[in-house]
Structure 1
Amino acid sequence: MKTYDEKHIRNIVLLGAAKSGKTTLCETMLFEAGIIPRRGTVEERNTVSDYHEVEHDRGSSVYATCLHTEWRDYKINIIDTPGLEDFIGEIISSIRVCDTALLLLNAQYGVEVGTSQIWDYVDKYQKPTILAVNQLDTEQANFTRTVEEARKVFGTAVTIMQYPVNQGPGFNSVIDLLKMTLYRFPENGGKPEKLPIPDSEKEQAERLHNELVEKAAENDDTLMEQYFEKGNLDEDELRQGLKIGMLKHQVFPVFCLSATNNMGSGRLMGFIDNVAPSSLEMPPEQAEDGSPIPCDPAGPPVLFIFKTLLEPHIGRLSFFKVLSGEVKAGAELYNEKGNTAERLNQLFITDGKNRQNAEILRTGDIGCTLKLKNTLTNHTLSDKQYGKQVHPIDFPRPKVRVAIEATNKGDDEKLGEVLSEIHMEDPTLEIEYNRELKQVILHGQGDLHLALTRWRLENIYRMHVEFLPAKIPYRETIRKPANATYRHKKQSGGAGQFGEVFLTIEPYYEGMPPYKEHPVRDTEEIALTWGGKLVFNNCIVGGAIDSRFLPSILKGIMEKMQEGPLTGSYVRDIRVSVYDGKMHPVDSNDISFKIAGMMAFRDAFHQASPQLLEPVFDLETTAPDSMMGDIMGELQSRRSVITGMDTLNGYQVIKARTPQAELDKLYAALRNVTQGKAKINAAFAEYAPVPPEIQKKLSEEYKGAELAPSY
């Protein structure tokens, strides 16, 4: 294929809520440019971008797909993204490497919740943005309402470039305010007829054109002076002003589309060519050390891997953007994070599952290569002497979790390997091998995200798995002091075992008074790996217990703290004072005092008003005002404590404290009652006491499990 220089490459990420028409628009753009001979449809499962089996099953995008089109001597790289928050990792990585966001709005539904959630990341990265109102040919299409909603969510930067003359069934005409021309499309779409603006539309067109001119002029002092002098700007000056405004994130041009009927894509691609910025015009990427990575065609080659995909029968595909210099097929570059040299034997331009060989890719271009050994998403390839690593993509933390195990226990090791592969492809899916809970836990972005993982395991990897509730990492502590004595005595012929321990346990807190019941010879303060502390006081006097047995007593206590007496959970925040005991000159040994210390601690714990603690999270829910009642009801029914309320950009924000035991179900419930329109964020806050009735239930379940016979 033709090799394009850095000035003639545009990188577009196609964004929008589910069913906004992104995949259909891709088909139309590729068809109009002659890249494909006919347009496929999502319903017929023959589109270029949605080519995976799971996407055919679902009828919507799951993966971000790289495509390209060529329009009037420009190459436009397009990344078609999913529209659901569950697949946000695919969306974020695509936003990161593209230079312009093309955000589709469904003319029937306006700014949907999926759109506003995606917008948060576009705004975070300050990407130049084009808005396209699609499906103007539908019965419920309402361009004016859609633009008004866009201005509420995105601000006054929303700037009308086109508006429809006859939206709804029969839609075929738009007025372009940059060219001040009416475009009328033939019945089957394609190249429009250019006509004068009719008299009935001239007043509105002139008013909106003047607004466009003012918006373009206000972003540059020189253009503003020309506007004051002439009272207008010519077409080239308008383009210049719009580009400056887009780069400043202060102009979001609005276009009109019917992707299904092939109306409006050619004009949109022309605007992308002429106005949307190239990588050369964008702020440089940042290295991990904060220094800039100049987008320099003459600089050293620097490639940033933004996506990894495992394709059956092909292997690992690594998608990259050339941030600097150029890369040729066969080049050898160095990966500092992987500590390895990688040879790029082949370079490709991809259109869905189709790949075209490329001999060279220049600054700003997007491509892929095969079978890199130690290079993953967020890695940088460059000359070994270059030494800089691109600042990684910051993926969001998971929101829901589930335990997973292989149906066939012999597949446990294979399951671990497969999950590692899936995580390599999808960094937003985290795998935790939790020794405390004795479970493998999947952490994902939502129930659909986890369901997709299960689908892949069963349909791609042919592994049968079970999803189970993830256990809660409870903690145990005490509320009052208690004393206990335990004698371990065992005689079975030959040397016996003997050890006796007297100890006191107390609730520990920072700054508590010193222990005064017995003289303290020495103190050991242990920061526990699972949180909290153990303070161990040696109060032995007169040689009642030899000092060499104290570490064994401590070891026994620590072992019991790793499987607490109440529910088998970790124990925290306790002060133990060993003040007396007995030993035998022959039968006393380390194991005897380890057992005596463990059992004395257990007995004292049960007398010290045991308290079970549960992890509690700070939860923040943002949603429209009309949904507050339903949200409050769900929160209060799941043991949440409301801690505050606020408003943000026209939405209501509810803050609450929610126990982790309720969190997974609550997340699903909130998405259900808000039809997915709520933004939900949670972060660990503290461990808090469990209500008495729940503590009793969990303690009884633990005792029942201990007493249950094993076969």
Structure 2
Amino acid sequence: MKDYTPDKIRNVALVGHGSSGKTSLTAALLFDFGVTGRLTKVDKGNTVTDYEPEEIDRKISINSAVCFFEANEHKINCVDTPGYSNFLWDTKAALRAVDGAAVLVDGVSGVEVGTEKVWEMLEENELPRLIVINKLDRENANFKRALESVVQFFGRRAVPAQLPVGEERDFSGVVDLMRMKAFLFEKDESGKFREEDVPAALRAEAAKKRDELIEMIAENDERLMEKYLEKGELSPEEIHSGLKKAVFNRQLYPVFACAALANIGAQPLAEGMIELLPSPVERGSVKATVKGQPGSVKMSIDEPLAALVFKTISDPYTGRISLLRVYSGKLNPDSVVSNVTKETDEKLGGLFFLQGKEQVPAGQAKCGDIAATAKLKVTSTGDTLSTKGAEIALPSIKFPEPSISFAIEPKSRADEDRISQASHRIVEEDPTVRFERDPDTSQLLISGGGELHVRIITDKLKKRYNVDVELKPPKISYKETIKGKSDVQGRHKKQTGGRGQFGDVWIKMEPLPRGQDFVFEDKIFGGAIPRNYIPSVEKGLLEARKKGVLAGYPTVDFKVILYDGSYHEVDSSDIAFKIAASKAFKLAMREARPTILEPLMSVEVYTPEAYMGDIMGNLNGRRGKLQGMEQKGNMRIIKASVPMVEMLDFEPTLTSITGGRGSFLMEFSHYEEVPAHLQQKIIAEAVKEGRVRPEEE
């Protein structure tokens, strides 16, 4: 493979709403530029970048995938990213590896939820971008209508660089407004096209749109504006350089026309990527911490190595594969580098470039390129690799917290034995997944970005690691506490012939503030209970508090004062005082007005303003308490405190209310008392499950 200098590399992410055609466009580019021998299709399950079984089965992209092609003496690294909300964390990470993006918009549907979300990510990363209106060969596709939706959402900086030739089934090519030439494609999906003059029917519109494009370019450059006002025209070179500058500064977003499945428009788009999006060198320097101080990294081969691991692939056969964007310096196979994030050294193995899952050996990875290496020992996604001693740390990648949890139950003992290692491998490549044991319910919980996300993880467990599990709603970690005080005796006496058992304790129980858990206070004076039995009393209380008297849930937020008791010289023992303490605990709880507590979640709902009323009403119906509202860009943030049990089915409800435009974050906040009428339901369920006997209620 040819060696490319950084100025001849383009790193481009294909982003957009799910099913807007990113993978199909990638397939067209790889075919047109000779990487694949045929035009692969998502519905046939043979594309280069959707290679995971879960992606093939569902016909959607779940993971970001890297590929590359060579065009006009340039290497273009393409990152095909997911568009569905459950997997946008991977898109967010992929954007750290690129210098520009192509935003795909469905020519039928226009701007959709995922388009808005990835646009926000592009803004956060300050990335130049092109807009591609795709699927223009579909029934009801309309370039003008889709463009209007783009302008409505993203402003008039979105300006056509092309016009389509024909509509729907008659879509056959594009008019390049900068060159005022038409590229007319064969209808056999070959990608072959011929260059012609602009069709007569389009000349007037093309001339008008070209003038608008030139005006927009001139508006963003004072020198060009002066010439345009003076002469009414700009040279082709000035149009090109002015547009490239405006794209780099994110002042303009050129709009292209395409039908990826029919292989119409992909090659002119590749030209646009080369001509209008910046090379790594043109991006300039990036922020970094250098030897512990704020600084920057210059994108140069001559600088020390700085490479960011933006993705990890965990393969059951080949092990861990780390995908890297090299920001400065160069990577050599079999070299030793410093993992600055983990403060340790790593020995590199072989280097390779990726075509989806296929590995192309690389002799070296230079500044500006995207490469991969296998079997690093400690390196994970977000880590920086640097030259030893240079101590360059790039900003890490902040991943979203999980928003939904399910209980998982292995279907067999063999599945149970394998799940620990399998879950570790899953988390290696997906940092947004959590596997953890609930200390109260003993359930193994899996948490992720949504129900689809969690179900796909369980599919991976089965297909990759042969671990079969069943998903269930998580049990709620209820607690029990008291609202009053009590003063009771617990006495254990048993005579069975020979040595008997005797323990006698008097305790006071009183409530503590929420979050104080449990306090034991010894106020025995005068030897009413020998000192050596006091620890046994405390142990008896600790064991008894694991199961409350109402519904058998752990008890919290109370104080027990041991103040009196009696003993027998012969029959008293540690076990006798433990049993006496346990009896005293149950009596004390019953007399101290026991009640049930439930976990409350701190919830943040992100939504367009139009849906705020419906969402607040829905949260109200879930016993939620509104905590406040904020605005972030075009989105409103509703903050509320809601019982966990009420949030288990919130995700599909929010999707329904907002048409998929809403999202939410949720984390544990605190415990509060359950309303009395709901406590009766919890107690009845506990009796049904056998947690308590009816007489214990």
**Structure 2 length normalisation: TM-score?**
0.90
What is the identity, as a one-letter code, of the residue corresponding to 1:356?
A: V
Please report how far the alpha carbon of residue 64 of structure 1 lies from its aligned counterpart in structure 2 after TM superposition.
1.6
Please report how far the alpha carbon of residue 404 of structure 1 lies from its aligned counterpart in structure 2 after TM superposition.
1.2
1:403 maps to which of 407, 425, 439: 407
Residue 642 of structure 2 is aligned to residue 658 of structure 1: yes
2:388 maps to which of 354, 367, 384: 384
Instruction: State how far apart, in whole Å, the 2-side matches of 1:389 and 1:95 are.
Output: 18
Partner of 2:286: 284
Unmatched segments (≥5 aa) in structure 2: none
Change (3 A) 1:554 1:389: farther
Partner of 1:320: 324
Partner of 1:429: 433
1:7/1:278 contact within 8 Å kept: yes
Deviations for 1:235-267, whole angstroms, at most 9, x for unmatched residues?
433444434433443322211111122222222
Please report how far the alpha carbon of residue 575 of structure 1 lies from its aligned counterpart in structure 2 after TM superposition.
3.4
Tell me the secondary structure at the aligned position of residue 649 of structure 2: helix
What is the identity, as a one-letter code, of the residue corresponding to 2:541?
A: I
Residue 582 of structure 2 is aligned to residue 578 of structure 1: no
Change (3 A) 1:59 1:169: same
What is the identity, as a one-letter code, of the residue corresponding to 1:393?
A: I
What is the identity, as a one-letter code, of the residue corresponding to 2:442?
A: K
Partner of 1:132: 132
1:89/1:427 contact within 8 Å kept: no
Deviations for 1:440-476, whole angstroms, at most 9, x for unmatched residues?
1110122221221222222232232222221112222
Deviations for 1:379-413, whole angstroms, at most 9, x for unmatched residues?
23223322333332111111221111221124322
Please report how far the alpha carbon of residue 362 of structure 1 lies from its aligned counterpart in structure 2 after TM superposition.
0.6
Residue 298 of structure 2 is aligned to residue 294 of structure 1: yes
Please report how far the alpha carbon of residue 490 of structure 1 lies from its aligned counterpart in structure 2 after TM superposition.
4.6
Tell me the secondary structure at the aligned position of residue 96 of structure 1: helix
What is the identity, as a one-letter code, of the residue corresponding to 1:267?
A: P
Partner of 2:511: 507
1:153/1:649 contact within 8 Å kept: no
Deviations for 1:631-681, whole angstroms, at most 9, x for unmatched residues?
567545544456667887666765544321122222133334555343233
Unmatched segments (≥5 aa) in structure 1: 511-530
Change (3 A) 1:548 1:273: same
Instruction: State how far apart, in whole Å, the 2-side matches of 1:619 and 1:104 are.
Output: 32
2:552/2:692 contact within 8 Å kept: no
What is the identity, as a one-letter code, of the residue corresponding to 2:252?
A: V
Partner of 2:254: 253
RMSD in angstroms over aligned alpha carbons? 3.1
Change (3 A) 1:2 1:490: farther
Instruction: State how far apart, in whole Å, the 1-side matches of 2:109 and 2:173 are.
Output: 21
More displaced 10-residue stretch of structure 1: 38-47 or 157-166: 157-166
What is the identity, as a one-letter code, of the residue corresponding to 1:251?
A: L
What pairs with 1:188-203 in structure 2 (closer than 5 Å)?
188=188, 190=191, 192-197=193-198, 201=202
Instruction: State how far apart, in whole Å, the 2-side matches of 1:322 and 1:685 are.
Output: 41
Instruction: State how far apart, in whole Å, the 2-side matches of 1:220 and 1:559 are.
Output: 76
Partner of 1:442: 446
Residue 268 of structure 2 is aligned to residue 267 of structure 1: yes
Instruction: State how far apart, in whole Å, the 2-side matches of 1:121 and 1:650 are.
Output: 13
2:182/2:196 contact within 8 Å kept: yes
2:551/2:692 contact within 8 Å kept: no
Instruction: State how far apart, in whole Å, the 2-side matches of 1:230 and 1:578 are.
Output: 97
Residue 371 of structure 2 is aligned to residue 370 of structure 1: no
Tell me the secondary structure at the aligned position of residue 474 of structure 2: coil
Instruction: Report how many residues are paired.
Output: 689
Partner of 1:567: 551
Instruction: State how far apart, in whole Å, the 2-side matches of 1:228 and 1:378 are.
Output: 49
1:699 maps to which of 662, 683, 694: 683
Instruction: State how far apart, in whole Å, the 2-side matches of 1:247 and 1:589 are.
Output: 81
Partner of 1:611: 595
Instruction: State how far apart, in whole Å, the 2-side matches of 1:610 and 1:231 are.
Output: 85
More displaced 10-residue stretch of structure 1: 684-693 or 191-200: 191-200
Change (3 A) 1:650 1:119: closer
Partner of 1:487: 491
Please report how far the alpha carbon of residue 359 of structure 1 lies from its aligned counterpart in structure 2 after TM superposition.
0.6
Deviations for 1:566-619, whole angstroms, at most 9, x for unmatched residues?
334343332333333334456555554444444323322222222212122243
Tell me the secondary structure at the aligned position of residue 273 of structure 1: helix
What pairs with 1:113-128 in structure 2 (closer than 5 Å)?
113-128=113-128
Change (3 A) 1:700 1:172: same
Tell me the secondary structure at the aligned position of residue 63 of structure 1: coil
Change (3 A) 1:205 1:56: same
More displaced 10-residue stretch of structure 1: 475-484 or 640-649: 640-649
1:4/1:75 contact within 8 Å kept: yes
What is the identity, as a one-letter code, of the residue corresponding to 1:284?
A: V
Tell me the secondary structure at the aligned position of residue 682 of structure 1: strand
Instruction: State how far apart, in whole Å, the 2-side matches of 1:603 and 1:638 are.
Output: 35
Tell me the secondary structure at the aligned position of residue 561 of structure 2: strand
Tell me the secondary structure at the aligned position of residue 274 of structure 1: helix
1:452 maps to which of 456, 476, 483: 456
Partner of 1:686: 670
Partner of 2:34: 34
Partner of 1:9: 9
What is the identity, as a one-letter code, of the residue corresponding to 1:170?
A: D
Instruction: State how far apart, in whole Å, the 2-side matches of 1:496 and 1:387 are.
Output: 71
Residue 163 of structure 2 is aligned to residue 179 of structure 1: no
Change (3 A) 1:305 1:646: closer
Instruction: State how far apart, in whole Å, the 2-side matches of 1:315 and 1:645 are.
Output: 45
Tell me the secondary structure at the aligned position of residue 133 of structure 2: strand
More displaced 10-residue stretch of structure 1: 409-418 or 77-86: 409-418
Tell me the secondary structure at the aligned position of residue 509 of structure 1: coil
Tell me the secondary structure at the aligned position of residue 571 of structure 1: coil
What pairs with 1:47-62 in structure 2 (closer than 5 Å)?
47-62=47-62
More displaced 10-residue stretch of structure 1: 664-673 or 135-144: 664-673
Tell me the secondary structure at the aligned position of residue 69 of structure 1: strand
Instruction: State how far apart, in whole Å, the 1-side matches of 2:71 and 2:350 are.
Output: 26
Change (3 A) 1:340 1:645: closer
Instruction: State how far apart, in whole Å, the 1-side matches of 2:228 and 2:538 are.
Output: 82
Residue 541 of structure 2 is aligned to residue 557 of structure 1: yes
Change (3 A) 1:485 1:13: same
What is the identity, as a one-letter code, of the residue corresponding to 1:181?
A: K
Change (3 A) 1:311 1:204: same
Tell me the secondary structure at the aligned position of residue 298 of structure 1: coil
**Structure 1 length normalisation: TM-score?**
0.88
Change (3 A) 1:484 1:332: same
Instruction: State how far apart, in whole Å, the 2-side matches of 1:249 and 1:478 are.
Output: 61
What is the identity, as a one-letter code, of the residue corresponding to 1:508?
A: L
Please report how far the alpha carbon of residue 545 of structure 1 lies from its aligned counterpart in structure 2 after TM superposition.
4.3
1:303 maps to which of 285, 293, 307: 307
What is the identity, as a one-letter code, of the residue corresponding to 2:55?
A: E
Residue 553 of structure 2 is aligned to residue 601 of structure 1: no
Partner of 1:532: 516
2:552/2:691 contact within 8 Å kept: no
Instruction: State how far apart, in whole Å, the 1-side matches of 2:156 and 2:600 are.
Output: 40
1:164/1:174 contact within 8 Å kept: yes
Change (3 A) 1:219 1:284: farther
Deviations for 1:163-195, whole angstroms, at most 9, x for unmatched residues?
324322201243333333343334346354444
Residue 213 of structure 2 is aligned to residue 212 of structure 1: yes
Please report how far the alpha carbon of residue 498 of structure 1 lies from its aligned counterpart in structure 2 after TM superposition.
4.0
2:173/2:184 contact within 8 Å kept: yes
Instruction: State how far apart, in whole Å, the 1-side matches of 2:240 and 2:543 are.
Output: 72
2:181/2:195 contact within 8 Å kept: yes
Tell me the secondary structure at the aligned position of residue 465 of structure 2: coil
